[in-house]
Structure formats: C-alpha cells, structure tokens
Amino acid sequence: MACQNLIDNYTVFGQPPRRSEASLGEERFTYIDGCPRDWGALPLPSAPLNVGIDGGYVRNWNDKKTHFEVIVGKSIPDDDAGGGKCFGLVQSFDTKPKRRLFEVLKGQGMQLNQQITFFSDGGDTVRNLQLYLNPEAEHLLDWFHITMRLTVLSQTAKGLPMTFDDDGKHYELREPALKTIESIKRYLWHGNTYEALQHLESLERDLHAAADEGNKESVTRKLLRAVEEFHTYIANNQAFITNYGERYRQGDRISSGFVESAVNCVLAKRFCKRQQMQWSPKGAHLLLQMRTRVLNGELEQTFQEWYPGFRVGNDEELKKAA
C-alpha cells in the first residue's frame, strides 16, 4: 500500500506532470494564423466540433476557508465518431490555459476551416478562454445556465405578495412579475436580447417601487437583487446569445449536457466535497493533467514518448486508479 501511494504521488506530483507541463508550447493571445485564402485551401475538415466548458470549486488547502475555481471541459465531434476528449485546469495557477485547450482541439484534428461551437456558462474566465482559437468558431451561452437562473427567479417570485401600495395606489405584483419572467425566457429563447433586457429593466422598476426600505431581507428585495444580477449576466453575455429555438428546430445543440458527465468523471472522488478533501491550486492542477490524460487514453502514449518500450498492462485498471 505504501509503495502504491509512493507511485501515485510520483505520478501526480513528481516528474511526469512537470515534464508534461514543460512540453506545452508558449501561450499566445491568438492561435489563428494565416488568412481566409489559406484556410480555404485546407483539406475538407471532418465533422464539426462541440466544446463545452464549465467550472467547479475545490476547497483550498492553503486557505481552509476559501475555494478556488477548477475549469473542466469536453470536446466532442458532431457525429460522435471516436468519442470526445476532456481537459481540466486551475485558472489561478495555469499560465497557459488557452494553449492547453488549443492543443486538445488540435489533437482531435481541428483545422482552421472547421466549424466549432463553444458552449459556456458565461463566466469571465471561461468566456475569455475560448476566444481566438478558430476563425470558424461560434460562441454560445449555454441555454441550461440561462434556464437555471430563470427558474430561480420564478421560484422566488412565487413568494412575492399578491399586491403592494405606492403613493396611495393599489398595484398587483406577483402575477405580473411571473408573467414578465416568462416573457423574458421567451425572448431569450428566440435570441431577442433587446426585448429581454427591456423587460428586465421594467421588472426592476416595479420591484424597486414595491420594495420595503425597512426590510432588506424581504422576498421583494431578494428578487430585486437576483433580477439585477441576471440583468448584468445577460448584458455581459448578449453577444453569445443566439436564437435557441431555431437551433433546436434544426437539430443543433443548444446546451452542453455532455460536459456534466465530464465534470463528474474528471473531478470524481478525488475532489468530491463528501470526501472533505482539500487541495492546493498546484496539486489540483497537476492531478487534473494526469487524470485527463488517462481518461483520454493518452497517458501510455506520453510515457512511450519519454521511455521507448513502455507498456501498460491493463488500461482499465489505470483508469480506475486515476
């Protein structure tokens, strides 16, 4: 057991991950080289790629009261041929996050004339990570993350008082708020961010009028804060909002459900909250690199490049160990 732990520690924190990190090329602002004429001369690309990126939080060993963000994603071809590849990194530690993602896509045969769709949750770190990797890229805000936030708004609005008084006048509150949230969802589904933002502003005004200044913990104030946050979220990501209804009718992806399995698979028990495990950003990052290589079936090839003649006896056992 002690010997196995020693091997595990060597694999995760020793020479292999450091050597792997050192072999990664330099970070660049953009990975788009050439011009449209050059891209048009490239061979016909394979199926379009879909890339989903999501984040999670891990307890910080260095500061026990805090967490740090772990970014995990998966890239799969449209036809699902050959399966997908997953990747992971700790943004606060990684100095080459964009290069890392580019190499994953390049390893799947990505060409600069190939269609590729990025799905993200709209966070700043995730949003910037996917930019300037491919001239044919389409960047979309994951519909799942929109509906998740709208569901929270609707559930909160159901707790509003039916009416409120303002300057001696009587106004309805709960039903109009619920209808407005439903309208916002409909506008976003069709990619109409202008109307969605207008309705959010209208809802904010109504909630401001109804909010009790003396009770900052009221349902009205709670909903107002949530609506303001959602307003900012949509405003910051409106360039990545498309006509989801049209994409859905055409059979195109509107959400990155395939990433959820990748997050569960990559993070697994070693980062699970139930295990009460704590990690340093460096340790978590190095483990992620080894784990994704195992899950992608690349670890044996990596060791063979370093040590000719290296062989793994049981690949399934290796995946379980990771």
Give the percent of the chain with pLDDT over 90: 55
Mean pLDDT (whole number) for 65-91: 86
Among 285, 257, 281, 318, smallest CA distance to 74 is for 257
Give the percent of the chain with pLDDT over 70: 86
Cβ 119 vs Cβ 256: under 8 Å: yes
End-to-end CA distance of the chain: 16
User: With 70 as the cut, is the pLDDT of residue 13 above it?
Assistant: no
User: With 70 as the cut, is the pLDDT of residue 17 above it?
Assistant: no
Cβ 215 vs Cβ 161: under 8 Å: no
User: With 80 as the cut, is the pLDDT of residue 291 above it?
Assistant: yes
pLDDT recorded at residue 154: 98
Among 202, 212, 167, 166, smallest CA distance to 181 is for 202
Cβ 278 vs Cβ 59: under 8 Å: yes
Residues 6+ apart with CB under 8 A from 120: 52, 53, 54, 126, 127, 130, 139, 140, 141, 142, 240, 256
Residue with tokens 């450091």: 18
Using CA atoms, how far apart are residues 13 and 173, in angstroms rounded to an integer? Answer: 57
Using CA atoms, how far apart are residues 255 and 91, in angstroms rounded to an integer? Answer: 23
pLDDT recorded at residue 217: 72
pLDDT recorded at residue 265: 75
pLDDT recorded at residue 309: 76
Using CA atoms, how far apart are residues 94 and 87, in angstroms rounded to an integer? Answer: 13
Q: 31-35, 157-161, 219-223, 305-309: which range is least confident on average? A: 305-309
pLDDT recorded at residue 130: 92
Cβ 55 vs Cβ 157: under 8 Å: no
What is the amino acid identity at position 253?
R
Cβ 135 vs Cβ 246: under 8 Å: no
Query: What one-character-per-residue DSSP string does 210-235 give?
Result: H--TT-TTSHHHHHHHHHHHHHHHHH
Over residues 18-67, the pLDDT tens digits come to 777 777 889 999 999 999 999 999 999 988 999 999 888 888 998 888 88
pLDDT recorded at residue 280: 92
Mean pLDDT (whole number) for 170-178: 93
Over residues 203-250, the pLDDT tens digits come to 999 999 998 765 667 899 999 999 999 999 999 999 999 999 999 999
Q: How confident is the model at residue 278 (pLDDT cuts 50, 70, 90)?
A: confident
What phi and psi values does residue 252 have, to the nearest 5 degrees?
-90, 160
Among 208, 117, 210, smallest CA distance to 166 is for 210
User: With 80 as the cut, is the pLDDT of residue 316 above it?
Assistant: no
User: With 80 as the cut, is the pLDDT of residue 93 above it?
Assistant: yes
pLDDT recorded at residue 322: 56
Over residues 95-144, the pLDDT tens digits come to 999 999 999 999 899 999 999 999 999 988 888 899 999 999 999 999 99
Mean pLDDT (whole number) for 141-164: 95
Q: How confident is the model at residue 298 (pLDDT cuts 50, 70, 90)?
A: confident
Using CA atoms, how far apart are residues 93 and 99, in angstroms rounded to an integer? Answer: 14
Angle at alpha carbon of residue 228, lines to 227 and 233, rounded to 5°: 95
Mean pLDDT (whole number) for 149-170: 91
Backbone torsion region of residue 170, taken as left when φ is above 0, otherwise alpha when ψ lies between -120 and 50, otherwise beta: beta
CA 115 to chain centre: 19
**What are the CA-CA distances from residue 314 to residues 236, 320, 322 (Å)?**
48, 10, 13
Mean pLDDT (whole number) for 69-80: 88
More reliable by pLDDT, 284 or 3: 284
User: With 80 as the cut, is the pLDDT of residue 252 above it?
Assistant: yes
Q: How confident is the model at residue 10 (pLDDT cuts 50, 70, 90)?
A: very low
User: With 60 as the cut, is the pLDDT of residue 7 above it?
Assistant: no
